[in-house]
Amino acid sequence: MSERLLEIRNLSVSFDTAQGTVRALRDVSFHVNRGEILGLVGESGSGKSVSMLSCLGLLPANGRIDNGSILFDGQELSPVGLTGRGALRQHEAMLRSIRGNRIGMIFQDPMTYLNPVLTIGTQLTEGLTAHGTCSRQEAWQRAVEMLRKVGISEPERRMKQYPYEFSGGQRQRMIIASALACEPQLLIADEPTTALDVTVQAQILELIRRLARENGTAVIMITHDLGVVASLCDRIAVLYGGKVCETGTADEIFYETKHPYTAGLLRSVSRRAASGGKTARGTLQSIPGTPPDLLHLGSGCPFAARCGEAMKICRDYYPAETAFGGEHSAACWLWCREKAAELTEAQDRERGERHG
Amino acid sequence: MAEPIIRVEGLEKHFQIRTGGLGRKMLIHAVNGVSLEIAKGETLGIVGESGCGKSTLGRTILKVLEPDAGHIWCDGTDITGFSRRQMRPWRRRMQMIFQDPYASLNPRFTVGELIAEPMAIYRTHGEAEQRERVQELLQIVGLKPDHIRRYPHEFSGGQRQRIGIARALALEPEFIVCDEPISALDVSIQAQIVSLLERIQDEKKLSYLFIAHDLTMVRHISHRIGVMYMGELVEIGPADEVCEHPVHPYTKLLMSAVPIPDPVQARLQRPQLTEGEVPSPIDLPKGCPFAPRCPHATKQCRELVPPLKDVGDRQVACFL
Ligand SMILES: Nc1ncnc2c1ncn2[C@@H]1O[C@H](COP(=O)(O)OP(=O)(O)OP(=O)(O)O)[C@@H](O)[C@H]1O
Ligand SMILES: Nc1ncnc2c1ncn2[C@@H]1O[C@H](COP(=O)(O)OP(=O)(O)OP(=O)(O)O)[C@@H](O)[C@H]1O
Ligand code: SF4
Ligand SMILES: [Mg+2]
Ligand SMILES: [Mg+2]
C-alpha cells in the first residue's frame, strides 16, 4: 500500500468563457499521504477549489481537464485519455461511488450544496444511505451523533429544520457533519471554518486533527487563515496563478520560506498578528498589485508583475523548480541563478543574431 | 451630541420553528433585547459565537426582518413600524453586504447587470451614467472592466464577494451592515477590501455594522466592538480596550482562541477547548446564557440574568 493516498500529477484545467480560455491550473502536481493534513493556500482565484473539483469530477460544464493524472488509492480519477461513451460513463459511475463515500467533501459555498426544500435530517441521512452502507435508522443515529460532535445543540430537533433556518456557521457545520459521517479515507475541506467563531473553529480543527491521527484519514485543507494552517497542517502547498509556487512542511514554509509570494503572504499576516489588529487606519499591509489575468497569461513567472525581486528573465520564462531537500521545493529564478544566467545569455545571443 | 445614524433599543427577534410530529411550535430567541448606537462615520464591530444572532441583528436593524419588540431609529426617525412603502426612501440609505456571496447573487445575471440592479430599481441614474458608474464600481472593488459580461459562477469565492460589495456601494448608502464581508477572502484581498471600506468611510462619513470572526480584522476596522452571546450583548466598548483587556469571561475565551500564524507557537499553545454545551437558543437557560460554560459561574449566575452595566469605558453583562 502506497503512502500517497492522492497524487495529482501535471494537472491542467481550463474554462471556456465568452472572453476566451481561462487557464485555471497549469501543470500542477502535489500529493497527500495517509493520515496527513495538507494545507492548500494561495491567493483568491489561484485555483485551489478548481483543483479539488477536478479530482471529484465536479467541474462546471464549461471546464475541462486538459491534461494530467489524479491517482486516488491507486485508482485513476482523471478522464484524460478516455474515449468512447461507455468508458466515460463507467468513469462517471466510479467517481460517483467515491464521492461522499471514500472522499468526503466540505464545499466553500454551503448553500449551493444544501437543498433548500429538504430538511437537514433528510439530506444528512440521504448521503449515508445512498451508498448502501447503512440503514435509514442507523443513518439517522449517525447524523445526530455527528451534529453533536460539530457543536450543534439539540441535534434531534434541528434535524427536522430547513437550511434557511440556520445561521451561516450552523450551515457550515451541517456540511462538515455530512462529510465526516461517511468516514472517508480522504477529507477535502474548502474553507470549512470561515463562518465559525474562533472557539467553535478550535473545536472543529481538533475534530479534524483527531480524525487524521486516529483514523488515518488524509485531509486537504484549503484556507486563507494562516493561523489555521500553522496549527493544523503537516505540509503546505502554495498556489499562485494556477501554479504551485512552493511546497514543504509547515515549518519549512513558515521558517525557511523560499518563494517571494509566500514571503509576502507571511509578512502581511505576521505583521497583523504581531500588532493584534492594533494598526492605524489605512496602514493595512498586503502585497501590492493584483493577481494575474488568467485569460492573458504570459510565459513567465505569474508573480513577476508584483514581485519585488523580479529580474528580466522572470517575465519571459517560467522558473525552474528547485528542491531544497526533503519535500521542500519552490519555483523561482532566485534559487537557480545559474540556469537563469544561461537562459538570459542564450536569449541575448539570439536577439543579437537576429539584429546582427 | 450629533444624532446617531442608527439607534436600537430593546430589540428582539424570535423565530418560530416546528418540531416534533404534533406540530408543536417553539421559539428561537435569535436577538434578545439588544440596545446600541452607531454614530455617523463610526464602525461598530460585532463578534460572537456562531448562531448567536449577529446576522439576525443586522437584518432586523435594516428591517429586512420585522422586529418582535424594541425600536429602531435611523437618523432620528423611528422606522420600527414603517411599512414596505414607507421604508423605500430609507432602504437606499441602508445597505447590506452578505455573508454568503453565492446565495445572494442571482446566477442568471451578468456581473454588470447585478451591479446595475440597485440603480435600476431606484432609477437613480440615466443609462449612460449607470454604465459609467458600474465601471467605476468595478474599479473601486478591484475587478476588471471586461468582467462585466461574465456570470457569478465564473468567479472564485473572493471575486464574488467583491461583486456583492460593488452592489452595496452602488447607491452611495450612509449605513452598511457588513455581514462577514471578508471571511471568504484571502489575506491580501482582505486588506484591500478593508482599506477600501475605510477609505469610503472617511470620504463619505459612512457608518458600518461590521460582523466578522477574524478578531484582528474587526479590531483594525472598528471604533467600538460589541460581543454577542445567545442573542444578547455581553460586552461593548472601545475596540482596543475590549481586545486587550477583555472583561466578560466569554470575551476572554474568544480572545484566547485566536489561532496564531506560527507553527511552533501554535503547537505550544493549543487553545483550551471549553467544556460544557453551548446552550440551545430554543430553551434559553435561566440566568446568564454563558453560565453553563463559564469557569467562574456562581449560583447567582445560574439564576439571574446579569444586566449590561457600565464598567469604566465600556458596558459588561456579568456579575463578576
Ligand atoms: N466556471 C468557470 N468559468 C470560468 N472561470 C472559472 C470558472 N470557475 C472558476 N473559474 C476561474 O478559475 C480560477 C480559479 O478559481 P478557484 O475557484 O479555484 O479559485 P480559489 O483559489 O478557490 O479562490 P478563492 O480563494 O477565492 O476561493 C479563478 O480565476 C476563476 O475565475
Ligand atoms: N429564518 C429562520 N428561521 C428559524 N430560525 C432561524 C432563522 N434564521 C436564523 N435562525 C436561528 O436564529 C439563530 C441566530 O441566527 P443568526 O443567523 O443571526 O446567527 P449568526 O450570529 O449570524 O451566526 P453565524 O456566525 O453562524 O452566521 C440561530 O440559532 C439560527 O438557527
Ligand atoms: S521567478 Fe522572478 S518574478 Fe517569480 S517569484 Fe521568483 S524572482 Fe519573483
Ligand atoms: Mg475557492
Ligand atoms: Mg451570520
pLDDT digits (tens, 9 = 90+) for A195-245: 888 888 888 898 899 889 988 999 999 998 899 999 999 999 999 999 999
Quick one: average pLDDT of A57-63?
93
From residue B55, alpha-carbon distances to B48, B66, B118, B287 in Å are 11, 13, 21, 24
Report the residue of B187, B211, B224, B245 to disrupt the A interface, i.e. the one with the largest count of A CBs within 10 Å: B187
Tens digit of pLDDT at every position of chain B (320 positions): 588 999 999 999 999 877 655 556 778 889 999 999 999 999 999 999 888 999 999 999 999 999 999 999 999 999 999 998 999 889 889 999 886 666 778 889 999 999 999 899 888 888 899 999 999 999 888 788 888 999 888 887 677 878 988 999 899 899 999 998 888 777 877 887 888 889 889 888 899 999 998 888 899 999 999 999 999 999 999 999 999 999 999 999 888 888 888 888 888 876 666 555 566 666 666 888 888 888 888 999 888 889 999 988 899 999 88
Contact B102 A112 (CB under 8 A): yes
Nearest Cα residue in chain B from A292: B144
Residue A147, min C-alpha distance to chain B (Å) = 13
Q: Which pTM value belongs to this model?
A: 0.88
User: Whose alpha carbon is nearest atom 28 of ligand 2?
Assistant: B51
> Quick one: cell of A312?
528580466
Whether the ipTM is more than 0.90: the answer is no
Nearest Cα residue in chain B from A111: B103
> Do residues B308 and B317 make contact, with C-beta atoms less than 8 angstroms apart?
yes
Report the residue of B55, B262, B278 to disrupt the A interface, i.e. the one with the largest count of A CBs within 10 Å: B262
What's the B62 CA to ligand 2 centre distance in angstroms? Answer: 16
Pick the closest to residue B230 from A153, A206, A198 (CA basis). Answer: A153
Percentage of chain A beyond pLDDT 70 is 94
User: Whose alpha carbon is nearest atom 6 of ligand 3?
Assistant: A332
Ligand 2 binding residues, C-beta < 6 A: A 164-170, 195; B 15, 17, 28, 30, 50-56, 99, 281
User: SS3 sequence, chain A?
Assistant: CCCEEEEEEEEEEEEEECCEEEEEEEEEEEEEECCCEEEEEECCCCCHHHHHHHHHCCCCCCEEEEEEEEEECCEECCCCCCCCHHHHHHHHHHHHHHECCCEEEECCCHHHHCCCCCCHHHHHHHHHHHCCCCCHHHHHHHHHHHHHHCCCCCHHHHCCCCHHHCCHHHHHHHHHHHHHHCCCCEEEEECCCCCCCHHHHHHHHHHHHHHHHHHCCEEEEECCCHHHHHHHCCEEEEEECCEEEEEEEHHHHHHCCCCHHHHHHHHHHHHHHHHCCCCCCCCCCCCCCCCCCCCCCCCCCCCHHHCCCCCHHHHHCCCCEEECCCCCEEECHHHCHHHHHHHHHHHHHHHHHHHC
- Which member of B17, B189, B262 has the closest CB to residue A44? B189
Nearest Cα residue in chain A from B155: A45
User: Whose alpha carbon is nearest atom 25 of ligand 2?
Assistant: B50
The mean predicted confidence, pLDDT, of chain A is 89
Tell me if A46 CB under 6 Å of ligand 1.
yes
